[in-house]
Amino acid sequence: MSQVEQHSHRPGERAASDTEAALLEQVCSAIHSRTPLSIQGGGSKSFLGHSVPGELLDISPHRGIVTYDPTELVITVRAGTRLSTLQAELDAQGQMLAFEPPHFSDRATVGGMLASGLSGPRRPWTGSARDFVLGTRVITGQGKLLRFGGEVMKNVAGYDLSRLLVGSYGTLGIITEASMKVLPKPRASAHLSLEMDPGAALQKLSEWGQKPFPITAACHDGNALHLRLEGGTGSVKDATEMLGGDELDPAFWTQLRELTLPFFSDPRPLWRLSLPNHSPLLNTEGDELIDWGGAQRWLKTDMSEHAVQQLALSLGGHATCYTPGHSEYPFQPLPPLLMKHHQQLKQKLDPSAIFNLGRLYALL
């Protein structure tokens, strides 16, 4: 038996199951009756966007690791697989999902990870979730089961459509299986905390970006700048000595990724602002936490949704509300021309309009 087959059928995966045929049958029935479907795995990201009416299509039973070849740094997994299961498998081989996807719940699934397209603190230095997707199996709005992409980076046939589905929140199609590139865990790491104000931190990060420091996470929590260094033993040691600062508990990055730092316990609404690199401090009502070296800002504020979204727009970015039920437009409204293109894409890929209708925007 090959190494891949052993990984696919070892005793620890007895709970694995292939329910793809049943999912396809439910979709075909929904298309025929024009019944909207609410697509859900573990429900860990269901608080993002609008609630979706319709018949539940449960992805979670469709689970299991299909193939995994650590030597090729590629894993293929079904969408209902728990994210924790996938990461435990990779961890046993000294490998990881480099984009650090948030869980938000122990029920988080691979399908939800891909549908939301969210990435953690390492994202600016290694890439986003969609950058690591090599191929997918997808149930389309025409009631077909199709495969896009492959299991190697060189296989680009359909690769863009796989990337398009990542972050579409299930509105364009149902990912049932995905092949992803994984990376070895870094050989060495260091976690530092440097006392400085947010403005000085942004300036320093801009300067350090021009130097070969092995930074893979940078966050200012309002009190200090926190850094993670990863790479070879020598480079991490040299950078640690040059940067100085105090030792930081590595658990900080998990708490940041999962939004469990004290900052996030503030009862005011939470907004995520995605901004260009080197954007200035927000200098607005509320409290700001700087992530991704400045490209991602978490804002706790009582400002109106219009004010927050206009602020993000004025800086060349966009804002997303992370507090359920607070905003009429949890995702930044699209310009008319871009909305038209999104509607045309929805019509093309989901002509019966049954997939997670209204999750992102009222007409999508």
Instruction: Give strand pairing partners of 201.
Output: none
CA-to-CA separations, 66 to 32, 53, 210, 293, 358, in angstroms, rounded: 31, 32, 41, 36, 32
User: Cα 127 vs. chain centroid, distance in angstroms?
Assistant: 11
Identify the pLDDT of residue 156. 47
Domain locations along the chain: 3-184, 188-321
Distance between CA 103 and CA 110 in Å, rounded?
10
Rounded to the nearest 5 degrees, what angle is found at the Cα of 134, between the Cα atoms of 296 and 157?
Answer: 120
Phi and psi at 274, nearest 5°, equal -100, 120
Cα atoms in the Cβ-side hemisphere of radius 13 Å centred on 5:
2
Q: Residue 35: exposed, middle, or buried by beta-carbon count in 10 A (0-12, 13-18, 19+)?
A: middle
β-strand 74-78 against 174-181: which pairing, if any?
Answer: antiparallel
CA 208, 212, 213, 218 torsion-angle sign? positive
Q: How far apart are CA 54 and CA 39, in angstroms?
A: 9
> What secondary structure letter does DSSP report for 220?
E
Number of H helices, E strands in the chain: 11, 17
Of 26, 5, 30, 6, nearest to 351 by C-alpha is: 30
Give, in words, the CATH class of 3-184: alpha beta
- One-letter amino acid at 357 equals L
Q: What is the pLDDT of residue 300?
A: 98
| Separation between Cα atoms, residue 6 and residue 151, nearest integer Å | 18
DSSP assignment, residue 109? Answer: B
Kindly list the distances between the CA atom of residue 357 and the CA atoms of 128, 175, 190, 256, in Å, as whole numbers in the listed order.
25, 16, 45, 31
Nearest to 213 by CA among 240, 244, 252, 194: 240
Residues in a beta bridge with 90: none
Residues 6+ apart with CB under 8 A from 258: 102, 103, 104
- Signed CA dihedral, 136, 113, 328, 124: sign only: negative
- Amino acid 42: pLDDT: 96
The amino acid at residue 77 is: V
pLDDT of the residue at 149: 81
Per-residue confidence of the chain (364 residues) as pLDDT tens digits? 333 333 443 433 435 799 999 999 999 999 999 999 999 999 999 999 999 989 999 999 999 999 999 999 999 999 999 999 999 999 999 999 999 999 999 999 999 999 999 999 999 999 999 999 999 999 999 999 999 886 654 444 444 788 999 999 999 999 999 999 999 999 999 999 999 999 999 999 999 988 999 999 999 999 999 999 999 999 999 999 999 999 999 999 999 999 999 999 999 999 999 999 889 999 899 999 999 999 999 999 999 999 999 999 999 999 999 999 999 999 999 999 999 999 999 999 999 999 999 999 987 7
The contacts of residue 5 (CB under 8 Å, 6+ apart) are none
What angle (nearest 5°) sits at the alpha carbon of residue 183, between those of residues 178 and 184? 140
Q: Is 207 helix (H, G, I), strand (E, B) or coil?
A: helix
